[in-house]
Chain A
């Protein structure tokens, strides 16, 4: 018996609005998820790639500060890799390699904008997107399936909580985690870049990048979070949802790689046949004109070794990835590149964009039908 048992008392306080439930569900969900040691490790580990990219930002600003942009540009034009400055090497080699259109000397501000945008894209696309898949895979499958298993849906739907608040609350749990591993480190990188740059006015020159980071993070978060929650809502066994989540990423990645490789093999075959045809022609030409008529092939500059994955993620591949729509990872990358202004070809962006919108719409439909299905059964 408590010392100060006051019995049952009516409650006459002011109640919060119905939207308040979203915050309550999200807060409790995050607190429960955070008790997982693996999640804490994953989120901590997710910040480590930021150190590598921070070094690149620092290296670029040092080059600008010491007036070495021109030198780097000459090196890039000469086809030399710039591995000495890490990821920046890949980015700069492409960014600085092309001659300025009007022949003017290199503009530090516009170069900075381009280099930063590519660095941020590479950061969000390469390591963070993979880490996002891992973190979401750790948390999302349990969010709804555990509610179904423990019949916790009764806790929500016998109270003034609608399906919308429930879904938004669960989305917010994952949204916060996704923001913690993508948006926050990217914004921190931008802030670091401003701090190590020669002038704080750099913040004004790159004002749009934080907005693009937020938009790119949302692009990353919304379809993935909804898809993960949709899987979670389809089963009371979180293991099955977890398997489905990782299987989707892996299978789509493998399918994308297989189809892209098949394209490359086909292209190589075409090139080989055309070279043979050209050699045949030159043979006949030599026979006819008695002089050397063939032209030595020009070797394109390759991406620096060790950073090919990152350089591809930074949007340095000029080829259109026609199978990107098939894989969530690649589709997200193309759309993010479009947001950062790096991929501007509409025919490259449209299929992945449609693919992501379709995944989002289907996931919403599944969630809307499934979250209160036991109550209707």
Chain B
């Protein structure tokens, strides 16, 4: 059930923001619902400006922003009390150690001194910061610094956590752990998470909804599950064995099917043995026919599920409407968002 506008974590209506003659946000209207939402867009799309508008840091030319029903322009402190932000830019107070930095963030959010220190250690433990927390922040590796920034953002237990490139600089294990923490916060603790990122697989892995911003406008917004559904219903079979024989068998049964690349990490089997087939699922008898074909050709079925398009394809289609060159969105490395966005 979608909550009312006043109770929504974030509710924007016709937001316009200009820097001089340049319009960065052009009539942006969107809602961020409880759960995990991805905010994606090419460089200069206005993502960072949008986040700053939610924090009440920029003055808008038009439109309204409400965060948990509060206006960030009028009540910035109350709004920021309920928000935790992990900025894309590395930011720290020089001279403070990791744990001091998190404690400082807690104290600035109103936690009393001793309690802030206890809470800082607790959150850093959860983020697996280890003994590195006692070193000055400027001497930490990028990954640990990212953990400290994340701990500083959630130490005061905010209801809304906004992360700009949260997996930037993390190795694959740490990246997976970070995404796991975000999922835990959202599903077990009811936090609203807004992730601004270029890494679309991350968005597809953990987000429930996505907002595509390009050229200062919302190009696409909605549930990822719905947005990535193919135009015609298709099912996807992952299996091991003679999949080409199975394709011929399906053709003989009048079912349109094609071979596609298997999903990475789908099973502990080498990619050479694995394969995937997409087949038309519009008719009721297609699934039984597929099972019969698999049995007849000796294919071991690993999974059979409703097929979905890659978010990247959806994203490219969406920004194509905004006349934004595709390479600006996909070819760039994570974290090189420009200053205007």
- Using a CB–CB cutoff of 8 Å, the interface residues on chain A facing chain B are 1-2, 4-13, 15-18, 20-21, 24-25, 28, 32, 35, 146-147, 150-162, 372, 375-377
CB distance B108 to A21 under 8 Å?
yes
CB neighbors of A among B261-317 (8 A): none
CB distance B91 to A152 under 8 Å?
yes
Closest A-chain residue to B340, C-beta based? Answer: A377
CB distance B110 to A8 under 8 Å?
no
Q: Decide if B93 is an interface residue (CB 8 Å cutoff).
A: yes
List A contacts of B105 (CB < 8 A).
155, 159
CB distance B108 to A160 under 8 Å?
yes
- Using a CB–CB cutoff of 8 Å, the interface residues on chain B facing chain A are 52, 55, 57-59, 76-78, 80-81, 83, 85, 87, 89-96, 101, 104-105, 107-112, 115, 119, 122-123, 125-126, 128, 138, 152, 154, 156-157, 181, 184-185, 188-189, 339
CB-CB under 8 A for A11 and B156, given A28-B93, A154-B87, A375-B58: yes
In the assembled complex, the CB of A84 is this many whole angstroms from the nearest CB of chain B, namely 50
In the assembled complex, the CB of A240 is this many whole angstroms from the nearest CB of chain B, namely 17
List B contacts of A16 (CB < 8 A).
110-112
CB distance B57 to A17 under 8 Å?
no
CB distance A151 to B77 under 8 Å?
no
List B contacts of A10 (CB < 8 A).
157, 189
CB-CB under 8 A for A17 and B104, given A155-B91, A376-B57, A376-B58: no
CB-CB under 8 A for A150 and B87, given A5-B125, A20-B110: no
Other than A159-B108, A160-B108, give 5 A-B pairs with Cβ distance below 8 A.
A10-B189, A11-B111, A18-B77, A158-B80, A161-B108
- Bound-state CA distance A16–B77 (Å) is 13
- Bound-state CA distance A157–B90 (Å) is 14
- Bound-state CA distance A104–B111 (Å) is 65
Closest A-chain residue to B116, C-beta based? Answer: A24
**A8 touches which of B83, B96, B101, B126 (Cβ 8 Å):** B126
CB distance B95 to A35 under 8 Å?
yes
In the assembled complex, the CB of B65 is this many whole angstroms from the nearest CB of chain A, namely 15
CB distance B108 to A8 under 8 Å?
no
In the assembled complex, the CB of A236 is this many whole angstroms from the nearest CB of chain B, namely 12
CB distance A8 to B123 under 8 Å?
yes
Nearest 7 pairs of A and B residues by beta carbon: A15-B110, A11-B157, A151-B91, A160-B77, A154-B91, A158-B85, A375-B57
In the assembled complex, the CB of A377 is this many whole angstroms from the nearest CB of chain B, namely 7
Most buried by A among B91, B108, B126: B108
CB distance A150 to B93 under 8 Å?
yes
- Bound-state CA distance A130–B112 (Å) is 38
- Bound-state CA distance A13–B115 (Å) is 9
Q: List 23 A-B contacts (CB under 8 A).
A: A6-B122, A6-B125, A7-B126, A8-B123, A8-B126, A8-B184, A13-B115, A15-B81, A16-B111, A16-B112, A20-B107, A20-B110, A21-B107, A21-B110, A24-B108, A147-B93, A155-B101, A155-B105, A158-B55, A158-B85, A160-B76, A160-B81, A162-B77
- Bound-state CA distance A252–B100 (Å) is 41
CB-CB under 8 A for A155 and B90, given A11-B111, A15-B111: no
CB distance A160 to B109 under 8 Å?
yes
List A contacts of B80 (CB < 8 A).
158-161
Most buried by A among B125, B128, B339: B125
CB distance A13 to B112 under 8 Å?
yes
CB distance A17 to B157 under 8 Å?
no
CB distance A5 to B126 under 8 Å?
yes
- Bound-state CA distance A155–B78 (Å) is 16
List A contacts of B55 (CB < 8 A).
157-158
- Bound-state CA distance A35–B136 (Å) is 14
List A contacts of B123 (CB < 8 A).
8
In the assembled complex, the CB of A343 is this many whole angstroms from the nearest CB of chain B, namely 43
- Bound-state CA distance A147–B108 (Å) is 15
CB distance A8 to B112 under 8 Å?
no
CB distance B111 to A8 under 8 Å?
no
CB distance B94 to A158 under 8 Å?
no
- Bound-state CA distance A311–B184 (Å) is 72
- Bound-state CA distance A157–B104 (Å) is 13
- Bound-state CA distance A171–B52 (Å) is 26
CB distance A2 to B57 under 8 Å?
no
Most buried by B among A1, A11, A153: A11
List A contacts of B125 (CB < 8 A).
2, 4-6
CB-CB under 8 A for A28 and B110, given A8-B184, A159-B80: no
In the assembled complex, the CB of B102 is this many whole angstroms from the nearest CB of chain A, namely 11
CB-CB under 8 A for A160 and B93, given A8-B126, A8-B184: no
